[in-house]
Structure 1
Amino acid sequence: MEKKTFKLGLVPKLIIAIIVGILIGQFMPEGICRAVVTASGLFSTFLKFVIPLMIVAYVTMGIADLSQGAGKLLLITVCIAYGSTLIAGSASYLVAANLFPHFMSAGALEQIAETADKSLPSFFSMQIIPLLDTLSAVVLAFILGLCLSTMRGEEIGDSLYNVMKDFSGIIDKVLHNVIIPLLPLYICGTFVDMTYSGKTFVILGILWKVFLVVILMHLICILLQFMLAGTVSKKNPFALIKNQLPGYTTALGTQSSAATIPVNLKCAEADGVCEQIRNFVVPLCANIHMAGSMITITACATAVCLMNQLPISLATVIPFIMTLGIAMVASPGAPGGSIMTALPFLYMVFGATAGDPNGPICAIMVALYITQDSFGTACNVSGDNAIGVIVDSIYHKFIAVPEK
């Protein structure tokens, strides 16, 4: 009788990495902390190089393998993702405007801002320039995927399709043998840096009520998205949420929607989403679906306005959310990417003077956002798979023609 070997799952590994990172950052000397951050930084550089290739490989093949309705599915996916982002941001403002005035202090953000520029330096770093940026990769994947889907076997042969299929297999190999096994190291390094520089605990000690309200909004958003997905697909929404735990935990540690794509693809597979749909919806939504980030940005902007006696209303927030929903496309490649993308547009809420990207108000906004970025990213990627379940259901019910 063959003996079963115990294998630790991805979620426990990620949780252990977070705990170890906090302990190292809190109790270990600077040299050890910098060593871990250096290793994590090197992996991060490699990951940023692979992410655009991953998008090209998966999105192209996902669209190319759709024999019917590829263009329609793309349009449906983009509309759902944008609509989800707008609704999430609007709801976040309404909640924040009604709750935050009851428990905010005037000097809290200044204490948070003190940790904004503190970061543990690596011993050394390497620069690997990606062949494409993420937005270029998305556009290229659209072009290749749609053309292969409509032209293959009629106007062109199978040569390019086979090349992309083999390329996708290579990326699969890299993901399963390099990226996923090393994700705990990446997450550990992130928490070492945050803990050593004081970012991990400062928000809990100063604005913990605001922090908890934002996290609660993220969790409610995830619940509603999966309830909708479960209703459309006739699947148990709580089973879908359970399947999402590895993706949620990974995003919590990496603070990057793009870096979570490999794990999120596995979550989508567990949800029963077919390979073609998950291969284009998950990488695509990682770059265009920003519901969690929008909740955090809108709540933080409301908090900053309340603390600095700046006027804010739904009339000023809605145009800001609509603009940011487009501007943030392809911003999730790095931690804090969404707020850095939002900086040039903060004047729409704060006004021309207070909204200066280099001014103190915007610096405070960045500091407050960064402390909650992990949870916004985790909400983003969870919603990506809810969209995947919905699109998969639409595809099989209304678009795919059963083979005779």
Structure 2
Amino acid sequence: MNLRRLSSSLLFKIVLAIVLGIICSFFFPEALARVFVTFNGLFGNFLGFFVPVLIFSLITPAIAGMGRGAGKWLAFTTGIAYGSAVISGLISWAASVVIYPWLLAGHGDVSIADISEGELSPYISVEIPAPMPVMTALVLAFVVGVAMTTVKSDTLYGGVADLRRVVMKVIAKFIVPLLPVYIFGLFLSLGMNGNLVDVLSAFSKVLVLAIIGSIVLLTLQYLIAGALTGRNPFTSIKNMMPAYFTALGTSSSAATIPVTYECARKNNVSQSVAGFVIPLCATIHLSGSMMKITLFAFAIMFMDGMALPLPLALGFILMLGVTMVAAPGVPGGAIMAAVGLLSANLGFSDEQVALMIAAYIAIDSFGTACNVTGDGAIGLVIDKFAKGNITRNELDDADDLGLAVAISGGAVEDADKDATQA
């Protein structure tokens, strides 16, 4: 049974795709390799088409939901979660400026992995124009979402909520199952075009840095929480370790909610606050995911010789923080939601985006563990200021805002069942 669950997990499939892609690059005939290059081109074009729709369908109901659940603790918790993600991104930027010049010195340009210009080329190429630019989708989502907080239209809100469920179903049933094939084609082409060793060497270093960075981030979160609440931050972290290791195994914030809740209660967070904060933050607090995405994105920019001034990095981080709040609760949902910003704000190519997806999912468990452990720090802060005054209505508001924890969990469960049956 455990073997079946392992074989159906996205992480296992991605790792297997990477390994097989590397191995097959040594003996695949060019004619067969071009089949996968063709698939990657078509799938990449579809992602370019789908991302603006994804952004609009996720961010619009998220903003509208915050307005509909007007409880002050709801807004306060969301603000802390967003601020945590922004701080995580800024730490990544500082690390990239200070560490990357010596950590990644001598590594080649990632852009040479453009398979359409190397030895391999697709058989056919089909352009799929996006319905709107990414920034247009972001602005439209903000405008419509904010407007819906004042109009209070149940019909319109129900429509965008249904659209969100449809988009999440597309992610769970179509995009996520095809990601391993996409990653396989990428590493196959990297190996056959001679770019594999340099890319893997660089990304392995960034992977270690991301894991260390998540530990630093958690320490900072609990130091701040300890300073505000007067509690020992290291004891608080120790009490959250069951949630951390559970998330390492499940790679799911939603699946770890019961354990995270019990750990928060062990830190003397009141029952009402823990019941409010933990389920909510399991969906909107993705500081660990933020760190992974920004570290790998900035690494690609460094290896490409692209300038990364603070205004550019800050703009990307601020927008990515909003995207993390609205990211779908499916495997790889955070990186899929960030694809549009990587392309629009940082100018990433399809191949660079594919590398980002592979790198993100490779350490998905560590990001999830960082996310849920950080939820405990937010619980401590909210408990300090709320003093048990969170009402039942605000608990219901958290369920409304949860970005469909139950829905996304059901989508993941359905996807896992399908994969297992297959």
TM-score (norm 2): 0.60
Letter in 1 for 2:175: I
Matched, 1:82 2:86: yes
Name the counterpart of 1:363. Answer: none
- The 1:62–1:110 alpha-carbon spacing in structure 2 relative to 1, beyond 3 Å, is closer
Q: Which runs of 5+ in 1 are unaligned?
A: 248-266, 306-316, 343-366
2:187 matched to which residue of 1?
A: 191
Please state whether the residue corresponding to 1:333 is helix, strand or coil.
helix
* Paired AA for residue 402 in structure 1: T
Picking from 310, 325, 333, the partner of 1:321 is 310
Quote the residue 2:419 is aligned against. Answer: none
* 1:286–1:137 Cα change, 3 Å: farther
How far residue 51 of structure 1 moved from its aligned partner, in angstroms, is: 2.3
Instruction: Count residues with an aligned counterpart.
Output: 330
Match of 2:409 in 1: none
CA-to-aligned-CA distance 1:6-56 (integer Å, 9 cap, x gap):
452222222111122222222100111110121232222223322222222
Q: Contact between 2:221 and 2:374, CA under 8 Å: does it hold in 1? A: yes
The match for 2:254 is: 269
Q: What is aligned with 1:166?
A: 162
CA-to-partner distance for each residue in 1:32-86, whole Å, 9 max, x for gaps? 1110121232222223322222222222223333313576566545543333222
Task: Name the residue aligned to 1:361.
Answer: none
Aligned positions of 1:212-231 closer than 5 A: 213-226=205-218
| Distance (whole Å) between structure 1 residues aligned to residue 100 and residue 2 of structure 2 | 51
* Runs of at least 5 residues in structure 2 that lack an aligned partner in the other structure: 226-235, 258-276, 321-336, 394-422
* AA in 1 matched with 2:39: A
Contact 2:247–2:368 under 8 Å retained in 1: no
Deviation at 1:225, TM superposition (A): 3.2
Confirm or deny: 8 A CA contact 1:55 1:141 kept in the other structure: yes
1:224 match: secondary structure: helix
For 2:391, the equivalent position in structure 1 comes to 402
Amino acid at match of 1:17: A
- Equivalent position to 2:240, from 233, 236, 240: 236
Aligned to 1:333: 339
In structure 1, the residue matched to 2:39 is 39
Does residue 129 of structure 1 match 2:118? no
- The CA distance in 2 between the partners of 1:242 and 1:188, in whole Å, is 29
> CA contact under 8 A between 2:51 and 2:340: conserved in structure 1?
no
Q: Equivalent residue of 1:27, what SS? A: coil
Work out the CA distance in 2 between the residues paired with 1:291 and 1:133. Answer: 22
Larger deviation: 113-122 or 85-94?
Answer: 113-122
Rounded Cα–Cα distance in structure 2 between residues aligned with 1:141 and 1:388: 27
Deviation of the 1:171 alpha carbon: 1.5
Q: CA deviation at 1:191?
A: 1.2
Give the corresponding residue for 2:232: none
* Contact 1:37–1:122, Cα closer than 8 Å, also in 2: yes
The one-letter code sitting in structure 1 at the alignment partner of 2:147 is: C
RMSD: 4.8
Q: Which residue of 2 aligns with 1:48?
A: 48
1:233-382 alignment, distance < 5 Å: 236=240, 239-240=243-244, 243=247, 267-272=252-257, 291-293=294-296, 296=299, 300=303, 320-327=309-316, 329=319, 332-333=338-339, 337=343, 341=347, 377=360
Q: 2: CA distance between counterparts of 1:380 and 1:160? A: 38
Displacement of 1:189: 1.4
Q: Distance in 2 between matches of 1:174 and 1:54?
A: 10
CA 1:96–1:277 in 2, change beyond 3 Å: closer, same or farther?
Answer: closer
**Does the 8 A contact of 1:289 with 1:384 survive in 2?**
no
Asked if structure 1 preserves the Cα contact closer than 8 Å seen for 2:33 and 2:188, the reply is: yes
User: Which residue matches 1:26?
Assistant: 26
Task: Give me the whole-angstrom Cα distance separating, in 2, the residues matched to 1:288 and 1:142.
Answer: 24
Please state how far the C-alpha of 1:123 moved relative to its aligned partner: 0.8
Take 1:246 and 1:126, find their aligned partners in 2: how far apart are those partners? 38
The DSSP-based 3-state class of the residue aligned with 1:187 is helix
Cα pair distance change 1:245/1:26, threshold 3 Å: farther
TM-score after normalising by structure 1: 0.62
Note if 1:95 corresponds to 2:90. no
Q: Distance in 2 between matches of 1:73 and 1:276?
A: 8
Structure showing the higher helix proportion among its residues: 2
Residues 1:177 and 2:180 aligned together: no
What residue in structure 1 maps to residue 405 of structure 2? Answer: none
Say which is worse superposed, 323-332 or 15-24, in terms of deviation.
323-332
Between stretches 375-384 and 71-80, larger displacement belongs to 375-384
The Cα shift of 1:160 comes to 0.2
**Aligned 8 A contact 1:226 1:240 in 2:** no
Q: Which residue of 1 aligns with 2:8?
A: 9
1:343-367 Cα distance to aligned partner (Å, 9 max, x none): xxxxxxxxxxxxxxxxxxxxxxxx9
